[in-house]
Structure 1
Amino acid sequence: MDMEDKIRPRHSSSLIYYVLLVLTAAAVGIYVFVKKPPIDIQVVNAVVYAFIFYGLFKIADYFFNTLYIEKAKIAVPKLIHDIVTAIIYSVALFAILKIQFGIDLTPIITTSAVFSMVIGLALQDTLTNLIAGVVLHIENPFRINDWVRIKDTDGKVVEINWRTTKLLTRENDYLVIPNGNIIKDTILSVNYPSTEQIMSLFVGVDYDTPPNKVKQVIESVCLKTYTEKMPPPEVRLVKYNDSSIEYEIRVWINDYGLKHHIANIIMTKLWYAFKRENIRIPFPIRDVYCHPVNTVDSNGEFEQKYSAIKRIEFFSVFTEDVQREIASLLAQKHYGRGESIFEEGDEGDSFYVIRRGRVSVTVAGNEVAVLKRGDFFGEISLFTGGIRTASVTAKEDALILVLNKEGFSKVIMDNPSAVESISSIITRREIENEQLAQKISAQALSEEQLNAQFASKKSKMFNKIKAFFNLS
């Protein structure tokens, strides 16, 4: 349940009822004190008439709102309702006093300068807020559930009454602002004339990265983050700073309340995207330390890559030297939890090995596998450029080793004889996956049928690999 659903603001009409009750009691008390009449049936009648009128009015008000206003779908401002209620109660009060006690307050109220001055001074702020409330209802600069900014404060409008406007802030604080203060300040309504707004974010990138590449990466992250049908995001180069180029990211959103949430997701995913693309976010440097290159760590990192490669069956057909060459081609890419590595139906030519973390494999929206450290995926696309048959998403922060066609082509060109063995391995895995998916037992087919199926698929795979790498 949202905080605004828990709020039960007190109606301003209760204050009106309280004031009228006090005025009635005061008027009767003054009359009794001055006239000193014997307590008779008039007092009882006045009280009875007051309660009867109150009950009848509440019943009539309820049925009028239920049977007419709500059915006709007419939006009656609460302020207007309160003002009409106050007028009706005032007329009823004057009528009861005049009929039962012969007291006519109208001449006193309209002719007494002292009374008018006292009331005017006492109600100065209240009247100011009341008039300001009327102005707000007439101009209608914002409505209930609109997001507004008043005096550097963002909030969602939850109530507008005769004296105050009440906001629910982003921190779930209940802010009550007198209407008189609102009309003196600048009001920013983000829901008018449309609920769609532009959110601007800023990020600095080093001078070594071409602006077009930066814009492409940022736009890709924004499009994958917010999938509402909105105008496409816009990235602008706005300033050359001392140590960075500053970019403005302009993203359309249709719920201002989610502004900080969406900004958090975009800026988080940008860090991972920049890390994968070797785009550096510079920061101020106060001291410079020169560290020698730690060759042990570098060699250790390479050995881990080599260890991951030699355990994979596809690459076991190569010599150790070639396997080390392949390991040197591996690029490390960081993916944040929830980030998509690729989608089902995407084109691609990259192969992936998980070095740290876990990823989820889904087909048609259903999770079919969870891969962990040492597992690999994407081999069909690497060897044939085939369309991705599944979607892969990081279940947690993951470090992935990536090998693409551009780097692997030279290895294949230099070792064309390996294509035959690779075709056999991939074909066998493909048949096993098909049998698993269709729940077909290998014993259901004869050995002759299995051999024929294998030979046919292997031949097709062999030709695909040769065509993909332009081998004669």
Structure 2
Amino acid sequence: MSTFIWIILSIVFGLLYSLVHTLPGQSKSIFVDIFWFLFLFSGSIFIFRFLSYLITDVIFSKFKGKSSSDLLRFIIIFFLYTTFLALIFKYALGWNLTAFLTTSALLTAVVGFALQTTLGNLFAGVAIQIEQSFYIGDVVKINDTFGRVETLRWRSMSIRTFDGTLLVIPNNQISTETVEVFPSKEPVRVSMKFPIPTNISPEIISSLIRKVILATPNVYTELQPFIHIDSYDPRNGIIWYQVRYFVENYLVEHIVDAEVKERIWYVFNRHKINVSLSNIFEHDFVLPKTSSTNMPYPNISKETIKECVAKINEYVCFKNPEKIASKVNVYAYAKGEPILYTEKKHDAIYFIYKGIVKVRQQTPQSIDCMEKHTNIKTEYLEFWPSEILNNVNKQLTVHIGPISEHKVKEAARKTLDTRHLYSLLSNHILNEKHKTDFLSYAPDETFQFFLKDSWLNLADISESDAFSQGETILLEVPVSI
């Protein structure tokens, strides 16, 4: 029953008690005691639920910043029910609880012996809640098991491992094991080591790595990365660097670690910091004869670069295209990596040889008057992340039904801008209020997309943020020599 029904029942029983109590000759009737008990019982349940909500959902969440567990709710409700019922039986109804408890002592001993394992789990759960060493959402390690805490019940704890398996562990076992806790809202430190040739300045290495780490999503930026020289290996001509930084929580540690390492590879690639693979492995490790020990750079022939410069020359008119082609720099970027955030910007045109560059607009246009930048010859559906289209589809299905999936794909072929996508899809919603509700999901910012064989100038990059969408290769073509 909902809390509202218990309020109604308490009012009804209170009125019935008052009515029967005032009838002549009914003041000591059995019905008076029944209605009085029902009034106190229903009123107490309302009070129990209100106090439970106040303690678990308001006070606990405010001071702990976490949701309360089912076990904590059970303990609070059990304590409240027991206390209030004891008070009702003793003072309101005048029952002798001492005699009742005395006669039930033998029964309690028998039940306690039969349920000793269950009671052990219960009291272990109570101890876990009192200590509050971990909460729902935290990642814990018990023996060799890693997982996220999903529920804390009176008998057991449920852990969801990273491969999707649900483990139910008795509280009694948890109380006797060593539990390593990774709080869900606390930053976690990540460490890594890598070798760098001795001829590269430590200041350059530190600057590049720091920029990469701070630009990576889910990195805890309030604590600055710590980058230092760990050891020297003069025989191989390398210096080992130690890097420590923090991520927002343990759940994203492995994702961020992999992304940082990937971006470091691309940064070293762009700055021609060659880390030989043979330096990383043990000395007795033999590389296959067909493998290369050097980091590969984007392999673009001189003829291809000349062709790209020629495409730009049709609009820019270089004085000496041949000489400009010889001065072109090639930069490769990882998926989602900011453009030119670790490179010095020059007076140049940046030609997109591969991939897509997404440029955030500083002053987004109104979604109602957004200009269409659609190239009819190009279909953009393949460039859209599936999670974005799935989310838009769910929001649109509420208004137009199952046909929304087809409409989303149709609109995604015409644009790469999320706000423009919402604008196109809103035309299929006839109800103005529903249309407004749907458009409210559109992001506040808008983007301009530059595809393969298009180019950006320095103004495009300096006035807004630019990111690669998938692996992107840029050719830095100097405007003048």
Pairwise TM-score range, normalised by the shorter structure = 0.5 to 0.7
Pair 1:139-2:218 in alignment: no
Deviation, structure 1 residue 334:
0.8
Is the partner of 2:318 in helix, strand or coil?
helix
Instruction: Give the whole-Å Cα distance in 1 for the aligned partners of 2:52 and 2:452.
Output: 67
1:364 to 352, 362, 365: 362
2:143 to 130, 146, 151: 151
Cα gap change, 1:202 to 1:54, in 2 (>3 Å): farther
Cα gap change, 1:181 to 1:350, in 2 (>3 Å): farther
Aligned residue identity for 1:309: V
% identical equivalent positions:
23
Q: Contact 2:158–2:169 at 8 Å: present in 1 too?
A: yes
Deviation, structure 1 residue 303:
1.4
Pair 1:186-2:186 in alignment: no
Q: Contact 1:348–1:388 at 8 Å: present in 2 too?
A: no
Written as runs of structure 1 = structure 2, the 5 A alignment for 1:1-16 is none
Q: Contact 2:305–2:325 at 8 Å: present in 1 too?
A: yes
Pair 1:261-2:263 in alignment: no
Instruction: Give the whole-Å Cα distance in 1 for the aligned partners of 2:85 and 2:232.
Output: 68
Instruction: Give the whole-Å Cα distance in 2 for the aligned partners of 1:249 and 1:53.
Output: 68
Match of 2:318 in 1: 316
2:210 to 219, 231, 235: 219
Instruction: Give the whole-Å Cα distance in 1 for the aligned partners of 2:189 and 2:242.
Output: 10
Instruction: Give the whole-Å Cα distance in 1 for the aligned partners of 2:182 and 2:145.
Output: 13
Written as runs of structure 1 = structure 2, the 5 A alignment for 1:71-82 is 73-75=58-60, 77-81=72-76
Written as runs of structure 1 = structure 2, the 5 A alignment for 1:70-469 is 70=54, 73-75=58-60, 77-81=72-76, 83-84=78-79, 110=105, 119=111, 121-191=113-183, 195-207=185-197, 210=200, 212=202, 213-226=204-217, 230-238=222-230, 246-279=240-273, 280=275, 282=277, 284=281, 285-289=286-290, 301-313=301-313, 314=316, 316-318=318-320, 323-342=321-340, 348-364=346-362, 366=364, 369-378=448-457, 388-403=462-477, 412=481
Q: CA RMSD in A?
A: 4.7
Alignment deviations for residues 368-427 of structure 1 (CA, whole Å, 9 cap, x no partner): 75434443333679xxxxx9344433233222122469xx7xxx4xxxxxxxxxxxxxxx
Instruction: Give the whole-Å Cα distance in 2 for the aligned partners of 1:124 and 1:54.
Output: 34
Match of 2:45 in 1: 61
Is the partner of 2:176 in helix, strand or coil?
coil
Between 68-77 and 122-131, the greater mean CA deviation after superposition: 68-77
TM-score normalised by length of structure 2: 0.55
Deviant stretches of 4+, over 6 Å: 52-56, 88-92, 241-244
Instruction: Give the whole-Å Cα distance in 1 for the aligned partners of 2:84 and 2:209.
Output: 63
Deviation, structure 1 residue 119:
4.8
Instruction: Give the whole-Å Cα distance in 2 for the aligned partners of 1:144 and 1:258.
Output: 17
Q: Contact 1:309–1:315 at 8 Å: present in 2 too?
A: no
Deviation, structure 1 residue 269:
2.4
Deviation, structure 1 residue 349:
4.1
Cα gap change, 1:176 to 1:57, in 2 (>3 Å): farther
Aligned residue identity for 1:287: P
Q: Contact 1:196–1:252 at 8 Å: present in 2 too?
A: no
Give the number of the structure whose alpha-carbon radius of gyration is greater: 1
Q: Contact 2:139–2:146 at 8 Å: present in 1 too?
A: yes
Aligned residue identity for 1:221: V
Cα gap change, 1:73 to 1:117, in 2 (>3 Å): closer
Cα gap change, 1:73 to 1:225, in 2 (>3 Å): closer
Q: Contact 1:79–1:134 at 8 Å: present in 2 too?
A: no
Structure 1: 5+ residue stretches without partners: 1-44, 96-103, 292-296, 382-386, 413-472
Alignment deviations for residues 163-189 of structure 1 (CA, whole Å, 9 cap, x no partner): 223334444543322222222222333
Cα gap change, 1:162 to 1:56, in 2 (>3 Å): farther
TM-score normalised by length of structure 1: 0.56
Aligned residue identity for 2:48: F
Cα gap change, 1:338 to 1:254, in 2 (>3 Å): closer
Q: Contact 1:128–1:180 at 8 Å: present in 2 too?
A: yes
Is the partner of 2:244 in helix, strand or coil?
strand
Alignment deviations for residues 352-380 of structure 1 (CA, whole Å, 9 cap, x no partner): 22222232344416467543444333367
Instruction: Give the whole-Å Cα distance in 2 for the aligned partners of 1:55 and 1:148.
Output: 46
Q: Between Structure 1 and Structure 2, how many residues are aligned?
A: 334
Instruction: Give the whole-Å Cα distance in 1 for the aligned partners of 2:174 and 2:134.
Output: 12
Alignment deviations for residues 294-320 of structure 1 (CA, whole Å, 9 cap, x no partner): xxx98x8111112323443356312xx
Instruction: Give the whole-Å Cα distance in 1 for the aligned partners of 2:268 and 2:122.
Output: 55
Aligned residue identity for 1:81: I
Aligned residue identity for 2:128: L
Instruction: Give the whole-Å Cα distance in 2 for the aligned partners of 1:264 and 1:335.
Output: 15
Q: Contact 2:269–2:332 at 8 Å: present in 1 too?
A: yes
Structure 2: 5+ residue stretches without partners: 1-29, 61-67, 91-98, 293-297, 365-445
Cα gap change, 1:377 to 1:126, in 2 (>3 Å): same
Aligned residue identity for 1:304: T
Aligned residue identity for 2:151: E
